Structure 1
């Protein structure tokens, strides 16, 4: 996937001070890092759904799902500071905080999910889930979608083709087409399950035992696919029939993001064997984890010691507990559903005036707006998408793009996004589209 909104090193950007900061960053951090936007932006403060640059100018954040309950949410900041002033150690000592949180958190999952294992990042969570899956099943084969992103460890990079063609899939990895209801043909669930079954058959032909089907349940890197609800069920049945497990990557769609339930897998009427959570869990504080069926981790727990120095520490747990409390108290899942529907309807109205908006899809406050050169051919409007993303940035609205042709606007603001915020975004997007 092309990162169309990335800064190109060596091009002029901003004033002399900004150029000096970019040069300093490249000198100190090396060549692998990327900056967003043709003209990078320097933020010094965040509050709610806004980020502020050094001049105090606000930018509407329609992209950063990490700050799920709003940038610098006071309750989360206070919880972190309070616990850091009392105790911060690890899970080899008894502590009530992790137990209290685990009880509250697991209550938000189906009854079959009985354990929580905490990590520091979504990458660590997915890595741990794969280790457990392979121990439980005795298999090695893992199935992911063609443009998936699941993390940055060595094991997960081989399962994350969205990192680029230089990162090759591992020998025990099979890539399947995304459940694309816009460009695909036939019934979405049947087509996706057929791809999964073909991967299983290929594993068997090569003597590889399947271990897991691992999917981001909103398919965010593939292009944002959420409908029709239930389409995942046949693929889940296929991997289980082959002796593998289903791992729901809830790092991006979780915590009420899709509006229908707290977890993306719930829209499909399935209960995963494991689910991984991350990014929004601590509102920017590094906390993540795996929730799982007890029987899946039994052999792993018997034979393998698990420890993570920082995973599950009292400060991280306090941050996660505060985030969960805000989501529950303020009804942010319901807010994602109502504001997301309002925003999607507004985008469709824009599509009546701007035919470049070929398809609006998603769930709750996770929306993909696919841009096409014409609606008949559905040819990707990749260059135009780059202009729109950077045009919005110049008008102080932050967004990004996704999909194989990088022509799908990825819309996933903090869960506290309001209808007034949606109106501001829609009006600004209308200006940018008109300028094309």
Structure 2
């Protein structure tokens, strides 16, 4: 009788203990036991190049962040209803990266909580409840925000107060106008149903929709449209924030707009459960007067130490510049690869956030979803980790830790070339 493999035993144990709701990546599930920089290692010590995990934005197990967490955990960790310098010191540093109009910071434990809170603030400020998001957006898992996360598919019911608009694809001079027209139509439809618009919320690289980053400035007209309707603009920076786009510290800055609210997620603490938002004081006022915000450990001393250490590393290692330079090199290398492989329809992105759209036919741009899955799993077999995104799951999603180098980019492109060649053959 054949003995069960360690992986099959682990899968059975996982199913028994965690139930059916959790999902795993890859046809052959990956079991890392250690991380360092841009690498994850399995139990045999095999290194896997991590080109996917943006949450650990300054690299797995960065010693400066680890030491800051350990030092503070050994000293004090308690809630934000006591006075503590750490939360104030970090708030000052965070706000200094933002436009001056954004004057208050509030902390949570996850990006979902931050987006949930942002909508509560927007509703209190505007008196409306209508929310506009893109057609395949993801903004979180709380009940209040999952209903505005259509990328969750059949697992979620879109709220009656939510309107979906097409993502700003195309990358031409009319991209901004088309997107603004969609937002204006959504505003009109909300009003036709007696719903006052409260907010336009977008992930500023539109990662779940398929990664749409150009041309810079295309968000301005849509932001003007929501403001004219009495609503606010919420920039979801959970994925594009903290220097990832290279061109700017925050994704919205690439478009020359100032959001009313900016939300952030766990890259803030390199994976430590800390997130939050910043907001214009006048937008926060009504919520502060009518609500009592309480989050037991949002902004606790250990979380603030982790977050501050992340800013240290980004500054000291000049990771925004690294994201700009290595990201450009990676996109150029991938575009060159596309000249040899018809499956590659387009390479797009900004900084260390790159999408490679795979198509069956370049003239019709028919999504190559099945081949994208083969590529993702083929790369996993060759010790490179990434995923796919977009409504048809045909866009390779590349967003490695910001310490990614040209050598790592070369390895990724080499392995991708091997997989595409195998598929073509």
Matches within 5 A, 1:36-435: 36-181=25-170, 187-435=174-422
> Displaced runs of 4+ in structure 1, greater than 2 A?
none
State the 1:374 CA deviation: 1.5
Tell me, in whole angstroms, the C-alpha distance in 2 between the residues paired with 1:204 and 1:18: 54
Tell me, in whole angstroms, the C-alpha distance in 2 between the residues paired with 1:376 and 1:91: 56
Q: For 1:372, what is the secondary structure of its paired residue? A: strand
Deviations 1:233-270 (A, max 9, x none): 00000000000000000000000000111000000000
Tell me, in whole angstroms, the C-alpha distance in 2 between the residues paired with 1:271 and 1:220: 20
Determine if the alignment matches structure 1 residue 27 to structure 2 residue 21.
no
In structure 2, the residue matched to 1:4 is none
Q: For 1:164, what is the secondary structure of its paired residue? A: helix
Alpha-carbon contact 2:173-2:215 (below 8 Å) kept:
no
State the 1:186 CA deviation: 7.4
Alpha-carbon contact 1:371-1:385 (below 8 Å) kept:
yes
Measured on the aligned residues, the alpha-carbon RMSD in Å equals: 1.1
Q: Please list every run of 5 or more consecutive structure 1 residues that lacks an aligned counterpart in the other structure.
A: 1-13
Q: For 1:350, what is the secondary structure of its paired residue? A: helix
Deviations 1:63-98 (A, max 9, x none): 000110000000000000000011001111111111
Q: For 1:353, what is the secondary structure of its paired residue? A: coil
Alpha-carbon contact 1:149-1:163 (below 8 Å) kept:
yes
Q: For 2:263, what is the secondary structure of its paired residue? A: strand
State the 1:400 CA deviation: 0.0
Tell me, in whole angstroms, the C-alpha distance in 2 between the residues paired with 1:407 and 1:15: 34
Alpha-carbon contact 1:252-1:279 (below 8 Å) kept:
no
State the 1:165 CA deviation: 2.5
Tell me, in whole angstroms, the C-alpha distance in 1 between the residues paired with 2:397 and 2:4: 29
State the 1:279 CA deviation: 2.2
Deviations 1:159-181 (A, max 9, x none): 00001124121010000000011
State the 1:393 CA deviation: 0.1
Paired residues, what number? Answer: 421
TM-score where L is the length of structure 1 = 0.95
